[in-house]
Structure 1
């Protein structure tokens, strides 16, 4: 990928909290037929989405040919045949990637630096023998590193859920700790649940009635120790309410689908839903006032604040509340032309903006005039890299003056500011060498035919 420089002819030309419950870990016990989802620990509201977006960004970040070093080790545990997932993070806990491990030995190829590795037992959440997630720190240099890890049985919570005086089959139980990690499991048809593999610490236990008819305050469990199993009966005795929230920005109604979370000011319990058509409808809520934790939408930044007018009453519907995004992120605008035919704007070029860390900030596709605007939850920062590459239905082919193969280029060192538009000007997309083209007469820097008259602007 070659360097990209703005063309000399300038012209004017754009976690957090989302679905925390969707991504949270399901951990459980030998209660009959207890249900669980993917048993990998996930952060609390605002962090689950960031983690998920980090995974996508890590896989989309530009790759390099930097040297890597092998990091290997044994996973030591009393139980044999257990499958694990290992995740690795930067020294400031920025997510990089993950993979499954079988056979008790892991092997990674990492660039020199300092990393945190996290090992997660993949047995079902309802297994009270499940190991707690274990983190290790590793420094990588020029030589291979061996770093073994020892897994220990986690804490476990068991019990039965009752709602309105009856067993609450299918109730969801979520345990959240001070480290902003949450773990969940679904009770069986007799209301029995078990949540295993928990790290040591204190937990708030939130419970959700499957029928969304009853609700209760959270249960606080202090000082859970590794290997400890604590039985905790749960009773939901308060009639739940519902809340409809109109979602807006300062420009008007939010049209895109978006996950938002309502947090009870009375209990700290949270509910996440997928909003559609500018409306978020929450059911099964505890009475009282609420705040919203919302991701960025369009060019607006993530926001956490009170839901205007929200006051849920037991057994009642609140249909007159609203939440408004008010703070815009940075935008990046520009245009793309054909490097070999500077008067030809390029349509269907993919434009990506990367942070200095390599994380993807946002992307856009050029229109028929070659114009693009990158929007998103982009905050003030230096050293942003703007990359252009063929998009459309058949990359690397694009229709410029001729139908040719195109390469990629990048513009480093772009600085952006929250709430402001950064114009990068006109960027030139290079054609691949003539030797790699199907149409060698008209494509590439060494095309043999005379240059054609530029096509008329659209």
Structure 2
């Protein structure tokens, strides 16, 4: 069995890259919604099955699409997995579900599969022994019971555990690679530099002593975008420029408050919020005092606006009449839904969010039949309306694309219900004699 050694802050650039990749993955996970595969006819699916070796421990299987978007998960029983999927390319990931502190855990194993319609194939999985990091945490010279210990690698993977009452910890099941070890003392009173452990191989065990001897400080950051306070709730991360360690909190009402921080300057990794794109950059004025004090007047500003679309929905027969309550949807060139809005009392709509530069976008307008009615407008022009589309729309980051007036037509007269105050153009035909 090989033995890995632990060093203080070696390979700073490698550790920094590890931290940034991990932070982006953490923020994505916090803000992500589950993406499900499109429904497909059962006959069109293929099935992949196989044996997981070695056996004798609980395993969970997760599956992702070709872009590593999460699709689902399930427990594997009896060491044999089986899954039916629509044709396409997928990644299957198998993880040993024993406790994090078990140093005999196997490392996660990924399997790329290509599914074809009607296929039934066997792909066995052989899991490798994981590496382990063990040690003791002391804070202010005393055992740091309950300290949170995180081991992060450059592949956007993180593994964590909590120290016992004596400050002892163990993290097993680690894949091959180098790790930055970050430690968070439970009371947020003490902090220390991260530890870098290089080149772990299957079965390696690295032991390290972690000493948190620096008084921890606090940082309050005001969040702004477009010259205004950012009011939306979001998870944001402060990263120490001195150590690479990161802290993630939930920002509320335009403020993010961090505690247990290492002294020095900080940068922010922030997700996309509202119509502002994800951003990483310095926190203006941020400098946590070295004596355990607080910096309360720092500012972080989102400056990268996403693309957006604006326009009006009007009656095609009477363009001077605005239509409130119409549904407007944007679809990407590949058919993905990009955003939805409803026209207001003036017929105006706005679609923002995290829209990127792209071409071939289509805007589709309708009265949203899912509401149970195709009626729009006010008497005497309240009628059933159809659908209109505007193709070839181009979006550009930082720009609001103006679509102008979108003319929504009446449904054919034979599809109108007809009542005395209808516009004559949409009255139902008289019943046949």
TM-score, normalization by structure 2: 0.79
Once the two structures are superposed, what CA deviation does each residue of 1:228-253 show, in whole Å capped at 9, x if it has no partner? 33332321111111111111123211
| Structure 1, unpaired ranges of 5+ | 1-41, 434-442
Q: Residues of 2 paired with 1:265 and 1:123: CA distance?
A: 35
Q: 1:347 to 1:448 in 2, by over 3 A?
A: closer
Distance 1:386 1:160, change over 3 A: farther
Give 1:427-438 correspondences, 5 Å limit: 427=406
Aligned to 1:328: 305
In structure 2, the residue corresponding to 1:44 is in which secondary structure? Answer: helix
**In the alignment, is residue 137 of structure 1 matched against residue 115 of structure 2?**
no
- Give the equivalent residue in structure 2 for 1:377: 354
Sort the Cα spacing of 1:237 and 1:86 in 2 relative to 1 into closer, same or farther, 3 A: same
Task: Report the Cα offset of residue 408 of structure 1.
Answer: 8.2
Deviation string for 1:149-180 (max 9, x for gaps)? 22223222222221111222221111111222
CA distance 1:327–1:169, shift in 2 (3 Å): same
State the secondary structure of the residue aligned to 1:47.
helix
Do 1:241 and 1:312's aligned partners in 2 also have CA atoms closer than 8 Å? yes
Q: 1:447 aligns with which of 416, 424, 428?
A: 416
Q: Indicate the residue corresponding to 1:418 in structure 2.
A: 397
Q: Structure 1 residues 452 and 111, CA, compared in 2 at 3 Å: closer, same or farther?
A: farther
Check if 1:155 corresponds to 2:131. yes
Report the CA distance shift for 1:362/1:447 in structure 2 as closer, same or farther (over 3 A): closer
CA–CA separation in structure 2 for the residues paired with 1:430 and 1:108: 44
Aligned to 2:72: 98
2-side partners of 1:121 and 1:236: how far apart?
A: 31
Aligned equivalent of 1:212? 188
Q: Matches of residues 16-27 of structure 1 in structure 2 within 5 Å?
A: none
Matches within 5 A, 1:310-389: 310-314=286-290, 315-336=292-313, 343=321, 345-347=323-325, 349=327, 351-356=328-333, 361-386=338-363
Distance 1:64 1:334 in 2: 35
1:121 aligns with 2:96: yes
1:7 maps to: none
Which residue of the other structure, out of 172, 177, 193, is the alignment partner of 1:201?
Answer: 177
1:48 aligns with 2:26: yes
Size of the alignment, in residue pairs?
397
Highest RCO, 1 vs 2 (Cα 8 Å, sep ≥ 6): 1
Give the distance between the partners of 1:102 and 1:404, measured in 2 at CA. 56
The TM-score normalised by the length of structure 1 is: 0.75
Residue of structure 1 in register with 2:85 after alignment: 109
Counterpart of 1:256 in 2: which secondary structure? Answer: coil
After superposition, the C-alpha distances for 1:377-436 in whole angstroms (9 at most, x for unaligned) are 2221123344557779x73446625999999887654320011112334557799x9xxx
Structure 2: how far apart are the matches of 1:231 and 1:299? Answer: 46
1:262 is displaced (CA, Å) by 0.6
Separation of aligned partners in 2, 1:125 and 1:176: 14
For residues 248-276 of structure 1, give each alpha carbon's deviation from its aligned partner in whole angstroms, at most 9, with x where no partner exists: 12321111122111111111111111112
User: Could you tell me which residue of structure 1 aligns to residue 52 of structure 2?
Assistant: 76
Correspondence for 1:190: 166
Q: 1:294 aligns with which of 270, 285, 288?
A: 270
Query: Which of 1 and 2 has greater Rg?
Result: 2
Counterpart CA distance in 1 for 2:147 and 2:323 is 57
Aligned counterpart, 1:271 = 247
User: Structure 2, unaligned stretches of length 5 or more?
Assistant: 1-19, 425-433
- The answer (yes or no) to whether the contact 1:344–1:400 under 8 Å persists in 2 is no
Contact 2:363 2:391 survives alignment (8 Å): yes
Instruction: Give distance in 1, aligned partners of 2:262 and 2:87.
Output: 48
Change (3 A) 1:449 1:395: closer
Q: CA deviation at 1:194?
A: 2.2
* In structure 1, distance between residues paired with 2:219 and 2:348: 41
**Structure 1's 310 and 143: CA in aligned 2 closer, same or farther, altered over 3 A?**
same
Q: Residues 383 and 416 of structure 2 are in contact (CA less than 8 Å); yes or no, is this contact kept in structure 1?
A: no
Change (3 A) 1:275 1:253: same
**Mapped contact 1:243–1:281 kept (Cα < 8 A):** yes
- 1:135 CA drift (Å): 1.4
Conservation of the 8 A alpha-carbon contact between 2:68 and 2:91 = no
Question: Secondary structure of 1:244's partner?
Answer: strand
